[in-house]
Amino acid sequence: MKQAKELLGEYGLRKTKCRLDILDLFLSHQQALAHADIEQVLGDRYDRVTIYRTLYSFKEQGLLHSINDISGAVKFALCQEACSQHQHYDNHIHFSCTQCGQTFCLNEVHIPAMTLPAGYSVHNLHFSAEGICKACNARE
């Protein structure tokens, strides 16, 4: 697993404390995180605008991708290596657990290629699954 410092360096981003703390949070969680989740942990150190800006700049830089999950909240998750600035290649499925409410990237499950009618071009493809996650299933 990569370190936050290493990642910021790779993406040519300044290593501010806020960026490091937010990245650390993503690196230590398996599930996607909403702004509110981050604020809960780091809210006493950084104001919401700073957190918001950091998340969106990470998205711009190809470090994080956003997910619209069943809760209606926008969540963020770390991108795989293939993503770069302004160009995301996150063609995996997102899994939302109806029991714990968490969303996970299923990086190994790719969205099947599809053929669209002439005249349409795709910029983003969202594919999500709902059900019970691994952790919740193990708890039963």
Q: Using CB under 5 A as the criterion, which residues of the chain lie in contact with Zn ion when the complex forms?
A: 65, 77, 79, 83, 88, 90, 97, 99-100, 105, 133, 136
CB 36 within 8 A of CB 73: yes
CB of 99 to Zn ion, least distance (A): 5
CB of 55 to Zn ion, least distance (A): 13
CB of 58 to Zn ion, least distance (A): 10
Closest to Zn ion by CB, 46 or 66: 66
Return the bridge partners of 95, or none.
104, 129
Which residues have a Cβ under 8 Å from the Cβ of 110 and sit 6 or more positions away? 91, 92, 93
CB of 90 to Zn ion, least distance (A): 4
Distances 49 to 18, 24, 43, 95, 133 between C-alpha atoms, Å: 12, 19, 10, 28, 32
Residue type for 73, please? Answer: A
Closest to Zn ion by CB, 46 or 96: 96
Closest to Zn ion by CB, 50 or 128: 128
Classified as helix, coil or strand, 114 is coil
CB 51 within 8 A of CB 19: no
Closest to Zn ion by CB, 121 or 124: 124
